[in-house]
Amino acid sequence: MRTVRDSWTSATSAVGRPRPVRVLTAVVVVAAAAAVILGALQPVVVVDGRPLSPVNGVCVAAVLSAIAQLAGLRFRLGPDAVSVSWAEAAVVVGFVVAPAGWLPAATLAGTGAAWLLLAWLTGIRNVAEIVHLVASMTLGVAGAALVTSLLAGDVPVRSARLPLALVAGAGTYLIITFGLVVLTLMLHRDAQPGQVAARVLYAKLPMSIGNVIVGITAVYALIREPLWLLAFGPVLWLLHRTYRFHLRAAEERRMWEAFAAATVRLPGAGEAEVARAGLRGALDVFGAQRAELEVHTGLGRRRYAQDAPGLEGVAGTRSGPAVTRTMVVAGRQVGELTVWLGDGGLPGPRDEAAIAAYGEALAGALHDAAAHQRITDLDANAVYERLHDPLTGLGNRIALAGEGDPLLRSLDRGRQVAMLLLDIVGFREVNSTLGHDGGDEVLRLTGGRINALARDGELVARTGDDEFALLLPVATLALPGTLRRARELVEQLRLPLEVAGVRLSVEVTVGVAVGAAGETGVAELLRRASIAVGRAKELGLTIGTYDSGQDASSTDQLALLADLQDAFAADDQIILHLQPEVDLVTAAPTGVEALVRWRHPRRGHLSPAEFLPAVERSELLIPFTRRVLDLALAAAADWTAHGIDVPVSVNVSARSLTDPTFPAQVTEALRRHRTPPSRLVLEITESVAVSEQEIVDEVLARVRSSGVQVSLDDFGTGFSSLSSVTRMPVDEIKIDRSFVDEMIDSAAAGAVVRAAVELGVRLGLRVVAEGIETIEQRAALIALGCPAAQGYHFCKPMPADRIVQALTQLARSAPANVTQLRADDAM
């Protein structure tokens, strides 16, 4: 869509023009008036051979001056228009036909009439500019007449000295008018003198030389053979067209060179940057007086504008057409570009096509900038969400470590630092009573209070569902001062608050851990503070302190980690015991669970509970997980080679599921053993499922997308069993053995098992009951519809070298086990 607007101002005076330009105009007008008066007072010198009388000659000179202006050319020089006329030819002919002193008056009358007519025809309304232009040409003619008179004197028209004088006069006219044009443009636009002079000279000099030649030729034709003047019409028309083409081609070349340079500058990182470059480019490309840009966004419209250099604040005195181009990208309107051209005439097809092309380039740059901004915002939001708790806005565990560890390293190694871990007491009851929205509000208010109570330099984070951490870089008086600070926090958090219309008080248990800045990091301080919280809860205290005697992973555990590194180098220390999962009715194998053991050279066989906690807290977790996966997949490949097609289940630690590289570790292990992903089942516990939910969900989603199965172990023992199943896509649930042990004697336990089986059926999940030890338990589970189980009743965990035989025996004897159980649970 295109609209052509009228000029955005119609100035009729010099008000608003730059003051230096107004001063120059006044000087030129006064000088021109003086030249006219002084010239008119000069006595008329009779020159031999002059073809016309003085009065007729003056009239002819005025008419020639008017024709020279009407037949002239206007070209753009930035936001201004420069006129190139046949004035030199008119000056040459006028000096021959009229007295030299009267030429300024004739020029004033002729050019003034011509420009008044042009103003009426083209819509130019700036009287100040017209007066300045007419006065400049009058002053130039006065100077030319003076120089010509001095050189020619009263020589006859046919004298050989006259052409030289005429050339000198025409040159004087060119120098005066050229100097005034350059000076005016410099004052008006604060432009570089050399650049303005070069462009004006490039436009005027060739035509001025041609004008002199045409004028002298016309003089000789007038004197010797007036009939030859009839041929001047076609010749002058041809010269006029040729020179117009020359100027237009030069302007076209300049415009497209500027177009290319401007479009190169368009791409930018932001909308404002692109808009500024686009407006600056529009001024350069089109020689515009002003450019405006209206950008359409989903949040509204924004406007940008820029005036040409030298027109800032005085653009209202400019006249010229405005072209508006609607910018569209992929059918969506991006905005509108409006360009006020410097010429007073209507824009031609070339202008409109160029503005349309420039608008398309600018639209594409704005669209790209908007897309770049959206990507930048998304990246910033992703970074923010990764480091902040979405509920309270506080930093999370990652942010606490990322900011706290460098802070601790910057402190003196001996300086005491402290970690306070605040655990909300009875938060489950808050959720049960007020609902999750009420519980969220309690967390927000509590987090806000802790943040408000934090002092300069202290770091606050939400590290768990109902846990907040406060890192104290300077522990005043070490432990005693930290305990006082903890008591202050407890008292402040007890102050009543209102949630969902209920007035309540928040009680917290605080774990305090103090250490030296150079010896402990944030993770270690959090671990110790967590131990202190657990100890305080056991003893019914409000504040608990960390004691190395409470730490299960103290000196003995550190030595255990060193031994574990030696175990990786050996082939027979880290081993697996494997226990089959079987069909409850047929006892046919349906899977195998891998249970890791450590055959310690000094301590004997160690169960997972004795070394796994230390492994999960250390840097040995990745190589340990790799070793277990290798052993499990190697065992699975062995029984697969014997024709037994069942998967292997491997327990996964909580820390592995918060490691974004874990899916790649699993994929690499499957590749090494050339095992299909469907043959691997990763078992997770409910406590794992609810910790760092967003990270765990992402890791599990990537694991499942590769084809690996996921099993929810110890189902029913956590506080969010149902939410875990519905939130996370799993393939299998394992009913905890505590319910299986009690289901015969406890109706409540039996109800839990029944509910778990029905839940699995409705969700399409496999259900496995753990810990089957008696035939009664088996019969009861079959009656409830439970499909599979594992336990001592079928097979105990055994070394890997015996699992193939056990699986083969279970598979062969499976048909014999298909017998209907009687009501008394006997086989």
178-232 pLDDT, tens digit per residue, is 788 778 777 765 556 666 666 666 666 776 777 777 777 776 666 666 555 555 5
- Is the pLDDT score of 580 beyond 90? yes
Mean pLDDT of all residues in 138-165? 77
- Is the pLDDT score of 31 beyond 60? yes
Mean pLDDT of all residues in 491-509? 88
Q: Kindly indicate the confidence band of residue 336, based on its pLDDT and cuts at 50, 70 and 90.
A: confident
Mean pLDDT of all residues in 91-99? 74
- Looking at residue 12, what is its pLDDT? 35
- Is the pLDDT score of 344 beyond 60? no
In whole angstroms, what separates CA 443 from the centre of its chain? 32
- Looking at residue 676, what is its pLDDT? 93
- Looking at residue 195, what is its pLDDT? 64
Higher-scoring residue by pLDDT: 216, 497: 497
Q: Kindly indicate the confidence band of residue 593, based on its pLDDT and cuts at 50, 70 and 90.
A: very high
Q: Kindly indicate the confidence band of residue 566, based on its pLDDT and cuts at 50, 70 and 90.
A: confident
Mean pLDDT of all residues in 717-737? 71
Q: Which two tokens stand for residue 562?
A: 């060193």
Cβ atoms within 10 Å, residue 591? 22
CA nearest neighbour of 362 among 285, 460, 477: 285
* Alpha carbons 805 and 810: distance in angstroms, whole number: 9
DSSP string, 263-318: HHH---SSHHHHHHHHHHHHHHHHT-SEEEEEEEETTEEEEEEEEPTT-TTTGGG-
- Is the pLDDT score of 467 beyond 90? yes
Do 301 and 295 contact (CB within 8 A), yes or no? yes
Q: Kindly indicate the confidence band of residue 324, based on its pLDDT and cuts at 50, 70 and 90.
A: confident
Residue pLDDT, tens place only, 395-445: 999 999 999 989 888 888 778 899 999 999 988 888 878 888 888 999 999
- Looking at residue 323, what is its pLDDT? 80
Q: Kindly indicate the confidence band of residue 449, based on its pLDDT and cuts at 50, 70 and 90.
A: very high
* Alpha carbons 690 and 173: distance in angstroms, whole number: 92
- Is the pLDDT score of 147 beyond 80? yes
Do 126 and 11 contact (CB within 8 A), yes or no? yes
Q: How many helices (H) and strands (E) does the chain have?
A: 26, 24
The CA–CA distances, whole Å, from 239 to 86, 231, 652 equal 11, 13, 92
Mean pLDDT of all residues in 539-563? 72
Q: Kindly indicate the confidence band of residue 693, based on its pLDDT and cuts at 50, 70 and 90.
A: low
Cβ atoms within 10 Å, residue 802? 12
pTM of the predicted structure, to 2 decimals: 0.43
- Looking at residue 453, what is its pLDDT? 92
Mean pLDDT of all residues in 365-377? 81
Higher-scoring residue by pLDDT: 824, 550: 550
Calculate the average pLDDT of the chain: 79
- Is the pLDDT score of 366 beyond 90? no
Residue pLDDT, tens place only, 795-806: 999 998 899 999
- Looking at residue 302, what is its pLDDT? 85
Share of the chain above pLDDT 70, in %: 79
